[in-house]
Amino acid sequence: MLDHLKPQRFADAWRRFTETPLDQLLARAEAGGEPAANAFALFRDMLAHVPAYGRFLADQGIDAASIRGPADLARLPLATKENYIRRYSLAELVRGGRLESCDMLAQSSGSTGEPSFWPRFPADEFAVAERFEQVFRDSFAADERRTLAVTCFALGSWVGGHFTLACCRHLAAKGYPILNIAPGMNKPEIYRILKELGPGFDQVVLLGYPPYLKDVIDGGPAAGIDWSRLKARLVLAGEPFSEAWRDLVGQRLGGSDPCYDFASLYGTADGGVLANETPLSIRIRRFLAETPTAARELFGEARLPTLAQYDPFRRFFEVKDGTLLFSGDNGVPLMRYHIADSGGLIGYDDMLRFLARHGFDPIPGLASHGWRGVRHLPFVYVFGRANFAVSYFGANVFPETVAVGLEQPEVALWTTGKFVLQAIEGLDRPPELYIAVELAPGIAADANKAEAMAASVLAHLMRLSSEFANYTPAEYRRPRVDLKPTGDPDWFPAGVKHRYSRR
């Protein structure tokens, strides 16, 4: 039996997206409306139409009738993958309790390699497409330039590649002069496309994971690619990077302005793209990179987070105990969803007042581009997952998975069980997954032991993490194991609580 609601849902969402200019789509957010009221409307809708949510509230001891307005939302329990997504059936998590009300499934994978499925319908993609539109229009002037968009994220059933391609196709259908092609993580095919098609466009936009795109860029000249001729720009996601990295890659691209040649997306499989870098946020971040005392005052620590802007009517953020929560409509609607990302929020006016106290006004520096990308939107900053996973080519690599490889009988007797995991991305070196391993007392380091451990870890990463197996290029999968003596003061100091990863 045909579901006649599907065409209407699509038509309504499609009409809003295609017939509404970006300035109008962002108007209520820039005007400083009441996003909490919008989040409360989502709560009421989920209570009425998502079977799992009412059960979840009851299971958490919450009387739904007591949540009477936006001010009461803070009393709602935090939803997580463990207590909400995995506790109820997939059908119960979507509206109407009917999985077929969506049209496709994407998947992501956690530490065990067991995939999490994320249903969605085309209407759910348009909120995310607005973030891509903001990047392509405000950062790359793709409303005026013929643009070849090359999706270099992993394809298949994984959430990143096809979601990116879908959103970029929506922009083309809206009228942007964008042609899309999706070679995925296939360097020879990327180079062939760039050589054959790139010169026929005003600019080329590559979309992918930072270390992978850097690898593509570094290998470009040997493949006959003239990056400056292509006027290449980058859309990045999955991993943070430094401003020094942005400078180096920008130089190799022959870029003219790092604020308008790059944009990083803050996204999750759970909620799609939640926020995006803008020319304004990049200019601010570059100032903070050069002014560590201001960065420490603003963010509470010296390391530099990803800094992005967001539409609070599309994704309503909150902060609890130093980590981010968001509420937003998707194939699986989410309310106060805890994604374990450490970070915080800063209002637009608050940000500019803070910068003024430090003698910096970011706006004049964007005048040469007609102040494109200066939007009165709030800022979100993200340090990354509060757990101990590291991101490597967009795949979460968890210490728990590495531990399985080091616990195998053929290598376990050589170690204390302690190790430190790092994803290393140097400015002038290839990326690598680095593991410092503490040797058991009386065990001497040698190359054969290190190689045996690396082989065991790799085998179990490939077995347990489908993200790692699908996202990471074959030539960069094998970890480098570095053997350290017992109690090494730099890596395994005595009397200090051990952390199994470093960023």
- Identity at 476, one-letter amino acid code: Y
Which residue stretches of 81-230 are H helix? 122-134, 159-174, 187-197, 210-219, 227-230
The number of beta carbons lying within 10 Å of the beta carbon of residue 197 is 15
Q: Is 78 within a domain? A: no
* One domain for residues 273 and 378: yes
- Identity at 330, one-letter amino acid code: N
Supply the pLDDT for residue 110. 53
**Distance (Å, whole) CA 345 – CA 316:** 11
Tell me the longest C-alpha to C-alpha distance in the chain: 71
The DSSP bridge pattern shows strands 390-392 and 395-397 to be antiparallel
* One domain for residues 170 and 238: yes
- DSSP element (H, E) containing 468: helix 466-471
How distant, in Å, are the alpha carbons of 95, 409, 440, 476 from that of 436? 47, 19, 13, 17
Phi-psi map region of 484: left, alpha, beta (phi>0 left; psi -120 to 50 alpha): beta
* One domain for residues 410 and 364: no
Q: If we measure between CA atoms, which residue out of 95, 100, 44 comes closest to residue 73?
A: 44
Q: If we measure between CA atoms, which residue out of 401, 437, 447 comes closest to residue 417?
A: 437
Q: Is 292 within a domain? A: yes
Supply the pLDDT for residue 497. 63
Q: Is 364 within a domain? A: yes
* One domain for residues 375 and 412: no
Total domain count, the chain: 2
Angle, helices 279-290 vs 292-299, to 10°: value is 120
* One domain for residues 459 and 325: no
Supply the pLDDT for residue 483. 97
C-alpha of 266 from chain center: 4
Written in H, E and C, the secondary structure of 241-284 is CCHHHHHHHHHHHCCCCHHHHEEEEEEECCCEEEEECCHHHHHH
Written in H, E and C, the secondary structure of 408-419 is CHHHHCCEEEEE
The DSSP bridge pattern shows strands 323-328 and 315-320 to be antiparallel
**Distance (Å, whole) CA 152 – CA 185:** 5
Supply the pLDDT for residue 386. 47
* One domain for residues 383 and 418: no
Q: Which two tokens stand for residue 177?
A: 């002069």
* One domain for residues 167 and 279: yes
* One domain for residues 382 and 397: no
Which CATH number does the domain housing residue 454 bear? 3.30.300.30
Name residue, tokens 């395994």: 492
Phi, psi at 332, each rounded to 5°: -105, 100
* One domain for residues 464 and 334: no
* One domain for residues 140 and 267: yes
Which CATH number does the domain housing residue 321 bear? 3.40.50.12780
pLDDT in tens, the chain (503 residues): 667 688 898 999 999 999 999 999 999 999 988 999 999 999 999 999 999 999 999 999 999 999 999 999 999 999 999 999 999 999 999 999 999 988 888 887 654 446 788 999 889 899 999 999 999 999 999 999 999 999 999 888 888 889 999 999 999 999 999 999 999 999 999 999 999 999 999 999 999 998 889 889 989 999 999 999 999 999 999 877 888 888 888 999 999 899 999 999 999 888 889 999 999 999 999 999 989 899 989 998 767 899 999 999 999 999 999 999 999 999 999 999 998 888 999 999 999 999 999 999 999 999 999 999 999 999 999 986 545 788 899 888 888 788 889 988 899 889 888 899 999 887 778 899 999 999 988 999 999 999 999 999 999 899 878 889 989 999 999 999 999 999 899 999 875 567 888 87
Tally of CA atoms within 13 A in the half-sphere of 49 that contains its CB: 17
Residue 283's domain comprises 119-387
Among candidate residues 370, 387, 404, the one where a domain is terminated: 387
Supply the pLDDT for residue 444. 94
